[in-house]
Structure 1
Amino acid sequence: MFVVTVAKAIFFTMKRLFQLDNASNLASVELWVVMTTLLLVVRFLIDFSGPWYSNRFTFATVQIIELLNYNMVHYTLGLMQLSSARVNDYFQVWAVLMVTLQYSVKIGRPYGRSKRIPLLDLMSSVWAANLLRVQTVLLLQIPLWFVWSANAARIITYFLFSDMSVTRNDENVRLVCDYMRYEHTHSDTANTDSMSGYKYLVFGEDRQEMKLDLAKFTLMLDMEHPKLITVEKIWGLHDSGLLGRTADPDDQLKDVCLSFALYKLLHRRFYDLPIHEAQQDKTKKLVFEGILKDKDDDYERVFRVTGVELSFLQDLYHSKHAQLFVRGFPFPSLCLSLVLVAVTGYIAYPVHQIHNRIDSAVLNRNRITHGAFITYIIVGLIIAKEIAEIIMYVFSQWTKIHMICMHIKHPKFGQFWLVVKAMRCMFWLIRKGKWKHQIRQYNLLISSRPRKHIMANLFPRSIKLESQVKNAIFESFKGLNFLDPRPKTNNGLDQNPVRLEAYFSYAFGSKGDLMQQLEWAIDLEADTHRILVWHIATCLCEINLSDNAYGRKTFWMKPRPFVNRSRAPEGVWDHYITASSLSNYCGYLLVKELVPDTGLVVQKVFHEVRLETNRATSKLGMFMSLFDIYDSLMVKAKKNEKPKEEESLQVPQTLGDDSLITEQVAGQDDEGGDYPADALVNEEDPENDVDGDGEDEEDTIIMMGTRLGKQLMDRYEADRIGLWADLAKFWTGFLLHLAANTGAMKHRMHLAGNGELITHLWALLSHAGILGGSHVEHLLDPVNLANINTANRDMTDPTRYPTFVN
């Protein structure tokens, strides 16, 4: 009975809300207020969940929602004036609350749009003021004007100071660049355990007067200034109750400051500024002997440092954190938000009296049935939103940096155990910046169909980055420093790192004859072609390894490695999961165009290869198995090699018993989905000529990948472990090559996502000095600094690393 009563009440309420307004013959103002508020809340939730610019679907959705928000707010404000000769109190309250919510819901906002949006918000605010100027009860008018004034002040402040904040951040990155020219002169030695000699800037470089060295024409920092904090100074606090050796044995808090210092260094990559420290031995030591020195070889510290570092860059370009914290902790903004919460909450008190003061004829005319209830909801949403934003800024890595630096500048506070406990408790609540150790996957052979490609693009599949993959990647990474045959320096480091393009010889260098046979698969036009050819070959090797390729229907499969750990042959799993997961990850990078080639090249080539793959498998049916794809491609490859021979291709022993080829297979896929029985394609059927034209397709990417896969399987027929070990070395080295060659601007675009493995590697390569310095060769002086072209270009040096330019 109760449920029926509630359902009737909801139905009656919605019916009244959707009735036409008597004054305008349109939907009531009350309905438009409800819909506009809900849409604004959706906009806030999207922004609060994190930057959304890397996902095209979410980006388009937000753009549509933002357009609807402005139009709906303006339409509702106009309808309020149209619906009554005298604007009632409900309309005044709703108008002020809506324009306040309209501006404050937008948390993530790139710098490039900072001028247009505040002007539109200010126009909405002025329109609300026009409704508010009508005389109303003083108990309600004062808080409404206060809320309106606070919101208008925030809009104007952001409009005036946003560009100033951008300018200050730009000046800081140039200051850091100029400082790194002579940073190495402050100490002769460097130790990665105590961080002595690493005077990398953390905090306070912009809070002192700099002196100009006329001889070198360089701005010099006062290294003894009490407000200047460096990495060396943070690691030197051995007796600190917060950062000492016993208080922070794993260096987790100190690593946050290291991440902030590295963030400032990495920021130069987006300004085409020279990386002066790239040639110094201590730069390599910091990465190879410091950050990569893990006790258990899980490389947790590597991703902890780079994860927080990239989160600072993400906040810089895709939120307002950097603007708010540019002058220190944003106490004024947060206090204004708290005052706004208090005043908005007070509005709920006089609202319940509005219904008694307004004439019933006015309420009926404007179709106001639940004015007080709707007002309470909007007030609650604004309060919740402001509190959520306060929490977002207070519990951020920026706050942690400021608190740690405050502890260093005022060490007396660290002597009180209660203060230290409170800081540790707050630091424990700060979780942003921790990478989830997930990598996205895209498999061309099972996602070439249009429907599956669209779904894989909009909702990419993620898998955990296994420890075996991490170990393989960083073993390859360490090889960039220790595999070079050139003479060592006194500290045991190479004078120059091994060239990044040596990934092919790193994988197959011990087999000279095989390298000559496979050289054609490397000597391709662009990295996009190499990724596709080697990805297809790796997928075919995976199918060859699988013991149930007959029963795996691609219709139900998701992009991930084909073979489970329990089904992998002994000794193969560690190498297999590395090669297959990174192969699929590089396929995903093509979908997102996060590769060295230009976006147009990637789009065109990838689209054509996807169509080639779709054509090559289109006649196999919707419920084709992995073996169907394998058999079809191999038969096609054999026809191209020996068109006159009629015998069929022999089935690899790993694919199972020959008697299973002609069986009808039905059951359940490993992913858990059911599939119907489907006859496998007979290899002697003329329908196997999937294109039906009988033309030689040897030069297509799909057939090149098939040819490469066949060569690998033929060569390693009796050595599965060797095959997957060499493929794992190839993909780890190739991924580092892609990370180094991909332009800084592309990495910046994908900072808005959840963090890409390739961007973490790019940052690490930069800090190790392997990317080299910028091609800007002139010395930076205060005059030149103002004239630097700040266009975001690739940081690679074609004179030192020729393969950086394809």
Structure 2
Amino acid sequence: MASETPRETLLYVESYVLLTTLLIAFLTVFGSWRRRSHSLKLKYSIWASYLLCTYLINYAMGLMKSATFRNELFSVWGTFLIIFHGSADCMSAYSLEDSENRKRYNVELFVMYFWLGWLIGMHTHKLKFMIPLYLLYALSLSRTGGRAEALELACKSYGLVRNTKLVADYMEDERNKERDEADATCMKGYKYLVKGEEKARVKVQPPRYHMQLETTGDHKVITIDMIWQCEGKLLSSTGDPDGRLKYICLSYALYRLLCRRFAKYSFPESSQPKTWNFVRYGLLSKEGDDHERAFRVIELELGFLYDLFYTKYPALFAKGLPLVRNFEFIIVIIGCWVAIPTLKNYQERNGGSDVHLMTTGGHNLDALLTGVVLVAILFMEIVQFFVVSFSDWAKVQWLCHYVEKPWLRNKCMEMIIRVICHRQLLKPWDGKLGQYSLLESFSHNPSVLLYNRLTSPYIDKPRKGRKLSAHVSLPMEVKRAIIHSLKTNGKRLRNGVDSLQRNGVERLSRACKLPTQTHVIMVWHIATSLCELNLSSQVIDTGKHVNQQSESEDFIVATKLSKYCAYLVAFAPRLLPDHPYVTEFIFDHVVVEARERLKGCEKSICQKMFNLCKDDRKKRISEKMSTLGQGSETKKAERGAELAKYLLDENVDRWKILAEFWAEMMLFVAPSDDETAHAEHLAMGGEFVTHLWALLSHAGILKRDCTQDV
């Protein structure tokens, strides 16, 4: 540093300021799309930007402090960078560990504010210039403090357990109260808490020290039944015919209930019949498009959950509409508007030193950089103002105010609330299904150039045969099939056995009684893939008739869910019933078996697989099926081939059987006690099985051993 000239130091500082500004602007623009995108490039770019920003700010301030000359814009740049860094509402954390390690962020903030105070004191001498800087200093404290508050709220070991206890105790008290019979069609009797508890009186009652809400008189809270019973035109059958506004509040209430699973509180209402009725006769009461409504509610709910762990929205809306945030927005807009014209005539004054940089056009580069940072801040504030104002959090606040305050039920306010609530700037989820096909990917080997001993300390080496297929849009047929299976089976979760019995193929149920659930998924996945390969070969030979079969609803459900379950085995084992390492271990051995049995026959896999099970036609196949799942040493590839051969040779509706099997299987694997895994996958675009996990939780199905008939 000592050998560098003042001009070189100034150039370094300006480069780091510009780079940090661009990175934070990138986080602001693309961070909002993170929760709904499965793009690895976008995720790695966001990760790099998120990780580098803090280090670049500290390093740039270190260069400013150690500079041998004075520049009054150093303190301005440092203040702007910290304001910019703390203003990204759409992203407060990249991973759950950031929330748990919130104290590290506070230490980083302390270091940055120490350097910033030093810079303002050392490089600012005019009082009229120092006063605005300290005002901005205070503004930056508010912005970065909001992020620290968001991390505290999301911390499962601190903020989450504290803030969720009231909801947990409230639901337990509601369960113990004797009420009239609940009606899920109009939400009568469903006292799910939405908002208002911060204004209510809370009492703590020994000996269990429950937190009790006083919800009478002037201390009313907003619950779901109040939303449905609101007499305002905006929430009436004419003002909200499809119930979208009501279901926004319902999603928020369900999100608050789901937080209990992350805080390890119990679900006392899960044993009540009205909990199952809430899903069966509430969300799924309307025939035809009930699956759309149910999944739309869950999508919004998981959007709130994502915001809790990874954004500042919970902190912004903790006390209602963020009026202070809007006031700060106005101050920043006015400040930028006033400062930009001033920079046009700026001439650097640094006590006689002529250290400055000029562009080829003769413009002062210091002033130009300051202008770029101001424009970036202005752009970010405008974008975030609209994103926050039209967010689902703002919609819930407006709707709760509308229910609570009758004076808001006038045409003008109803029009404003309707405009806000009917605008969806960002989708909660992009509706993608991960796909994996063992028979297409078993021969895949990771790149030696990318995954080797040199890169192993930094990059985890993928397992062999683990090649991700392209994600597909979640078909409507899949949603419909799963909801139909849930209605048919009720709270009875089985891994496909019931669907096989309904279709008259009970003998296949032995293929559902293998040592682990991973065995079952892989055997049936192989069988489904072989049926699909066989159909593809028939399309080439026979044409139109088989082609229509390949476009049927049952075919779409069976193939998409088969590949999705295999994708979970290969890429998300923590979301499945078996121990994650057991799942990985079994998957590796299935790949080895497939490589041994199918070596050199990539183009004739179907015929080779059928030859493995010794084709003696129907009688021999039936004999083999009688031993399937009873300790036979038959390899999983052979078992899958036997199963496929039976489905192809017998006179059965194979695609209907497979579609109903996989729909039932998805519901069976959805319950989970690993809430952290679901939260982590929300940050990576979300998984369809997480939607089912949340839906079943609200139906009172918390474990897959829940076998009572309904």
Alpha-carbon offset, residue 22 of structure 1: 6.0
Distance (whole Å) between structure 2 residues aligned to residue 171 and residue 228 of structure 1: 19
The aligned amino acid for 2:111 is M
1:143 matches 2:132: yes
The aligned amino acid for 1:152 is L
Question: Which of 572, 576, 589 is the matching residue for 1:592?
Answer: 572
Alpha-carbon offset, residue 441 of structure 1: 1.8
Q: Which residue of 2 aligns with 1:780?
A: none
Distance (whole Å) between structure 2 residues aligned to residue 25 and residue 565 of structure 1: 72
The aligned amino acid for 1:125 is Y
Pair 1:420–1:699, CA change in 2 (3 A): same
Q: Which residue of 2 aligns with 1:202?
A: 194
Pair 1:68–1:210, CA change in 2 (3 A): closer
Distance (whole Å) between structure 2 residues aligned to residue 212 and residue 149 of structure 1: 37
Alpha-carbon offset, residue 797 of structure 1: 8.2
Q: Which residue of 2 aligns with 1:711?
A: 646
1:423 matches 2:417: yes
Q: Which residue of 1 aligns with 2:561?
A: 582
Contact persistence 1:51–1:108 (CA under 8 A)? no
Contact persistence 2:531–2:644 (CA under 8 A)? yes
Pair 1:634–1:52, CA change in 2 (3 A): same
758-767 vs 329-338, greater mean Cα deviation: 329-338
The aligned amino acid for 1:525 is P
Distance (whole Å) between structure 2 residues aligned to residue 472 and residue 160 of structure 1: 42
Query: What are the within-5 Å matches in structure 2 for residues 123-142 of structure 1?
Result: 123-133=111-121, 134-136=123-125, 140-142=129-131
The aligned amino acid for 2:560 is S
1:228 matches 2:237: no
Alpha-carbon offset, residue 380 of structure 1: 0.8
1:395 matches 2:390: yes
1:409 matches 2:399: no
Query: What are the within-5 Å matches in structure 2 for residues 342-361 of structure 1?
Result: 342-355=334-347, 357=349, 361=354
1:34 matches 2:18: yes
**Residue aligned with 1:524, SS:** coil
Q: Which residue of 2 aligns with 1:777?
A: none
Alpha-carbon offset, residue 580 of structure 1: 0.6
Pair 1:91–1:455, CA change in 2 (3 A): farther
1:732 matches 2:663: yes
Q: Which residue of 2 aligns with 1:193?
A: 185
Distance (whole Å) between structure 2 residues aligned to residue 458 and residue 378 of structure 1: 43
Query: What are the within-5 Å matches in structure 2 for residues 786-797 of structure 1?
Result: 796=703
Distance (whole Å) between structure 2 residues aligned to residue 632 and residue 222 of structure 1: 70
Instruction: Write out per-residue CA displacement over residues 491-542 of structure 1, whole angstroms, 9 at most, x where no aligned residue.
Output: xxxxxx33x126223224553xx534551x3222222222112111110110
Pair 1:338–1:610, CA change in 2 (3 A): farther
The aligned amino acid for 1:204 is G
**Residue aligned with 1:180, SS:** helix
Pair 1:51–1:332, CA change in 2 (3 A): same
Query: What are the within-5 Å matches in structure 2 for residues 84-95 of structure 1?
Result: 85-95=68-78
Distance (whole Å) between structure 2 residues aligned to residue 129 and residue 463 of structure 1: 52
Contact persistence 1:242–1:420 (CA under 8 A)? yes
Question: Which of 237, 248, 254 is the matching residue for 1:256?
Answer: 248
Distance (whole Å) between structure 2 residues aligned to residue 260 and residue 32 of structure 1: 41
**TM-score normalized by structure 1?**
0.74
1:505 matches 2:498: yes
Distance (whole Å) between structure 1 residues aligned to residue 304 and residue 555 of structure 2: 35
Question: Which of 635, 658, 664 is the matching residue for 2:611?
Answer: 635
1:531 matches 2:515: no
Instruction: Write out per-residue CA displacement over residues 703-745 of structure 1, whole angstroms, 9 at most, x where no aligned residue.
Output: 332333233323x3x44xx111111111011100001246333
Contact persistence 2:87–2:144 (CA under 8 A)? no
Question: Which of 248, 253, 272 is the matching residue for 1:280?
Answer: 272
**TM-score normalized by structure 2?**
0.83
Pair 1:403–1:460, CA change in 2 (3 A): farther
Alpha-carbon offset, residue 700 of structure 1: 3.7
Question: Which of 238, 260, 276 is the matching residue for 1:268?
Answer: 260
1:447 matches 2:441: yes
Alpha-carbon offset, residue 101 of structure 1: 2.4
Instruction: Write out per-residue CA displacement over residues 615-650 of structure 1, whole angstroms, 9 at most, x where no aligned residue.
Output: 555534xxx54xx222333334439x99xxxxxx9x
Distance (whole Å) between structure 2 residues aligned to residue 446 and residue 247 of structure 1: 51
Contact persistence 1:144–1:347 (CA under 8 A)? no
Pair 1:30–1:764, CA change in 2 (3 A): closer
Pair 1:356–1:212, CA change in 2 (3 A): closer
Distance (whole Å) between structure 2 residues aligned to residue 467 and residue 455 of structure 1: 33
Distance (whole Å) between structure 2 residues aligned to residue 75 and residue 458 of structure 1: 40
The aligned amino acid for 1:86 is F
Distance (whole Å) between structure 1 residues aligned to residue 464 and residue 134 of structure 2: 49
The aligned amino acid for 1:89 is E
1:766 matches 2:697: yes
The aligned amino acid for 2:645 is K
Contact persistence 2:295–2:691 (CA under 8 A)? yes
Contact persistence 1:527–1:596 (CA under 8 A)? yes
Alpha-carbon offset, residue 586 of structure 1: 0.9
Contact persistence 1:306–1:760 (CA under 8 A)? yes
Question: Which of 301, 304, 321 is the matching residue for 2:296?
Answer: 304
Instruction: Write out per-residue CA displacement over residues 201-260 of structure 1, whole angstroms, 9 at most, x where no aligned residue.
Output: 2222343224567799755433434531222222112x3121122212222111122222
Q: Which residue of 2 aligns with 1:609?
A: 590
Contact persistence 1:102–1:121 (CA under 8 A)? no
**Residue aligned with 1:349, SS:** helix
Distance (whole Å) between structure 2 residues aligned to residue 526 and residue 236 of structure 1: 48
Instruction: Write out per-residue CA displacement over residues 152-197 of structure 1, whole angstroms, 9 at most, x where no aligned residue.
Output: 3433565478547866653442222222234253522122232222
1:173 matches 2:154: no
Alpha-carbon offset, residue 302 of structure 1: 0.8
Number of corresponding residues:
662
Alpha-carbon offset, residue 128 of structure 1: 2.9
Query: What are the within-5 Å matches in structure 2 for residues 210-249 of structure 1?
Result: 210-211=202-203, 219-226=211-218, 227-237=220-230, 239-249=231-241
The aligned amino acid for 1:175 is L
Distance (whole Å) between structure 2 residues aligned to residue 352 and residue 313 of structure 1: 46
Pair 1:158–1:518, CA change in 2 (3 A): closer
Alpha-carbon offset, residue 451 of structure 1: 5.6
Query: What are the within-5 Å matches in structure 2 for residues 619-698 of structure 1?
Result: 619-620=600-601, 624-625=602-603, 628-638=604-614
Query: What is the percent sequence identity of the aligned residues?
Result: 29
Can you give the 5+ residue segments of structure 2 that lack an aligned partner in the other structure? 448-461, 622-631
